[in-house]
A and B are shown apart, each in its own frame.
Chain A
Amino acid sequence: MTYTSDKPPLAESTDQLRARIPGWGADLDPKDRPSVPKLRWQEDRTGAHWDFPDRQPEKWPRERSIEHKFLPPVFGTSCPPKGVSGVIRRFAYRKYSEGRAAHWLLLLAADRVDAWESHLRSFLTARPDNPITETGVLSEFSRHGFSSRIGQKRSDVKHQVLDPVIVAGPWVLAVAITVTLARKLTHRS
């Protein structure tokens, strides 16, 4: 037991476990575990045939962490920074290291600004954002939204009610502010 030097006994013996669980103990020896030891020289370089890779062309000034000595040779080219959110992102990368909370908080703020910019921009296109289709909320009906939650003792149901507020709240607030301002302007004129 715990208050003596003996370990509490297991309910099943090794033989019973081996009989019940397919493959039990196949990796019992750490030598058979591919990530042991953590650092292990990879002689085959997993197929690489360079010491340092060729450099990918930098087609626009690529934002990078100031903890890097230089721009790494390969990088993603999805979604270059744009608009106000792009200004915030570039500032976050230029000014703060990954060790600073400001770096991450600015990037999170830029994400929210980016979403607003993109929503507004979408209204100038033939395909404006549609919160019904884009949230996939109709799957509540086709995927048993009610029975998946009711009577299931799920811990997440308590906070799922916040999700519509997070998604729709800013829009409701924006509409309310716009209507209020419009009314004030109308009354003045």
Chain B
Amino acid sequence: MRAMVYRGPYKVRVEEKAQPVVEHPNDAIVRVTMAAICGSDLHLYHGMMPDTRVGMTFGHEFIGVVEEVGSSVRNLVPGDRVMVPFNIFCGTCWFCARGLYANCHNVNPNATAVGGIYGYSHTCGGYDGAQAEYVRVPFADVGPTVIPEWMDDEDAVLLTDALSTGYFGAQLGDIVEGDVVVVFGAGPVGLFAAKAAWLMGAGRVIVVDHLEYRLVKARAFAHAETVNFTECDDVVVHMKKTTDFLGADVAIDAVGAEADGNFTQHVTAAKLKLQGGSPVALNWAIDSVRKGGTISVVGAYGPMFSAVKFGDAMNKGLTLRMNQCHVKRQWPRLFEHIRNGYLKPSDIVTHHIPLEHIAEGYHMFSAKLDGCIKPLIVPNAA
């Protein structure tokens, strides 16, 4: 089969690779019909995530058609059109039993601090991902769901990570009616978090970024006020002024490890790999939110330490809430919101890239060229 393959930092190519096989009785093999490049894939692409091996195929947002199932699979049959959460999870460990699917303990030998994720380094279990023609899907009875007839493919693929994660991020904020919510990052997750903040009753939603074309999208798609931090002397002071010096009630970090806005933080983290991530957005969140406020972190960071301002967080009495999203737990409610017309995730898709051109896709997305917000990958066999 044809598959994207990592060749080292900033380098990927498409290669002929052995088609995945059933390795466990509850595996399925899925023919990928659509995948996406996620912002967090860029951390792998830039060599930031420890134990990212040359030869791995990335890709954890995808939909496809079931090609083959293992002997114990009951809920899927070949030919089913499925959407697959980015979490690989067993359904029955201590964590899964309580709904923490992203923290499954039965799927990742390499680390206990993170669950299993498709195509996301060996730190997340060493599974090949779906920027390929076929992918192995473990626990086929647990993770995948048959795509409803009424749902668009592009909406379905965005439900497998970006939309669910943004919605989850807003929930972590414990938003109450009238809250001022500031979202750092106007990428796909930030846009969805801003949109979801309204569903939870926010009184103001403010999105912060430095890419003007994304802020334009935040205003149009997420009905948000926007702040371009390159136009502020100090974004924290700006946030204080715009909230009559109280601070926002809730801040959502939808940026993660490669945050811009502080050259030293960015270079030490993203270029020199001396921190688990550049905590610029997180530190801005800590300082922008009011005392007693809540920080929600859904941006992805590496497992190493980062220079986070915990002193301010402690002195302000903040609540810090964070996790990878338990995708499947969000779906029933998100399906309703899409059916009701409250959410139209595919509105953020900007590019459709053939698998064979994925190297250009990664560069374009990484360098933020051509107004790129969300690139989708279409494999040859789709």
Docked complex Cα distance between A22 and B110 (Å)? 43
What are the interface flags for A83-123 relative to B under an 8 Å C-beta threshold, 1 for contact and 0 otherwise? Answer: 00100010001000010010011011011101101110010
Which of the 9-residue segments B7-15, B60-68, B147-155, B306-314 touches chain A?
B7-15
Considering only CB atoms, which chain B residue lies closest to A7 in the complex?
Answer: B246
User: Which residues of A sit under 8 angstroms from B200, Cβ to Cβ?
Assistant: 25, 27-28, 33
Q: Is the CB of B109 within 8 A of A104?
A: no
The CB with the most chain B CB atoms within 10 A, among A38, A136, A155, is that of: A136
Q: Does A15 contact B (CB under 8 A)?
A: no
Given contacts A27-B199, A62-B109, contact A145 B369 (CB under 8 A): yes
Interface check B277, CB cutoff 8 A = no
The interface size of chain A toward B, counting residues with CB under 8 Å, comes to: 104
A101 to chain B, nearest CB (A): 7
Q: Interface readout for A128-151 with B: 1 if CB under 8 Å, 0 if not?
A: 011101111111101111001000
B90 and A65 within 8 A (CB): no
Residue in B52, B171, B210, B360 whose CB lies within 8 Å of A35: B171
* CB pair B363 A137 closer than 8 Å: yes
Which of A65, A76, A144, A162 is the most central at the interface, judged by chain B CB atoms within 10 Å of its CB? A76
Residues of A within 8 A of B23 (CB): 56-57, 77
Whether, in the assembled complex, B328 has its beta carbon less than 8 Å from a beta carbon of chain A, the answer is yes
Q: Name the A residues within 8 Å of B337 (CB-CB).
A: 23, 26
Contact, CB under 8 Å: A78 / B53: yes
B8, B199, B231: the one within 8 Å of A118 (CB): B8
B122 in contact with A79 (CB, 8 Å) = yes
Closest to A137 in B: B363
- Closest B residue to A142 by beta carbon equals B360
List chain A residues, Cβ under 8 A from B107.
Answer: 72, 74-75
> Does A124 reach chain B (CB closer than 8 Å)?
no
Q: Is the CB of A22 within 8 A of B53?
A: no
Selected from B24, B263, B359, B372, the residue in CB contact (under 8 A) with A136 is B359
What is the CA–CA distance of A160 and B368 in the complex, to the nearest angstrom?
11
Cβ of A2 within 8 Å of any chain B Cβ, yes or no, is yes
Per-position contact with A for B122-136: 1 when CB-CB < 8 Å, else 0? 110111100000000
Q: Judge whether B101 and A46 touch: CB under 8 Å.
A: yes
> Which of A2, A49, A75, A111 sits near B51, CB closer than 8 Å?
A111
How far is it, in angstroms, between the C-alpha of A38 and the C-alpha of B325 when the chains are bound?
11
In the complex, are the beta carbons of B97 and A75 less than 8 A apart?
no
The answer to whether B92 and A143 have CB atoms under 8 Å apart is no
- Asked if A41 contacts B110 (CB within 8 A), the reply is no
Could you mark each residue 100-133 of chain B with 1 if its beta carbon is under 8 Å from any beta carbon of chain A, else 0?
Answer: 1100011111111100100000110111100000
With an 8 A cutoff between CB atoms, is A166 at the interface? yes
Question: When each residue 211-233 of chain B gets 1 if its CB lies under 8 Å from chain A and 0 otherwise, what string results?
Answer: 11000000000010000111100
Q: Which of A71, A73, A79 contacts B126 (CB 8 A)?
A: A79
Contact B267 A25 (CB under 8 A): no
Do residues B330 and A154 form an inter-chain contact, with CB atoms below 8 A?
Answer: no
What is the distance, in angstroms, from B135's C-beta to the closest C-beta of chain A?
A: 11
When distances are taken between beta carbons in the complex, the residues of chain B under 8 Å from A142 are 360
Q: Which of A23, A47, A101, A162 contacts B141 (CB under 8 A)?
A: A47
State the 7 A-B residue pairs at the shortest beta-carbon distance, nearest first: A23-B342, A48-B91, A76-B126, A136-B363, A115-B8, A76-B127, A136-B359
A-B contact pairs, 14 of them (CB 8 A): A24-B199, A42-B91, A48-B91, A57-B23, A72-B109, A77-B23, A78-B122, A79-B122, A104-B276, A115-B8, A118-B8, A137-B363, A145-B369, A167-B11
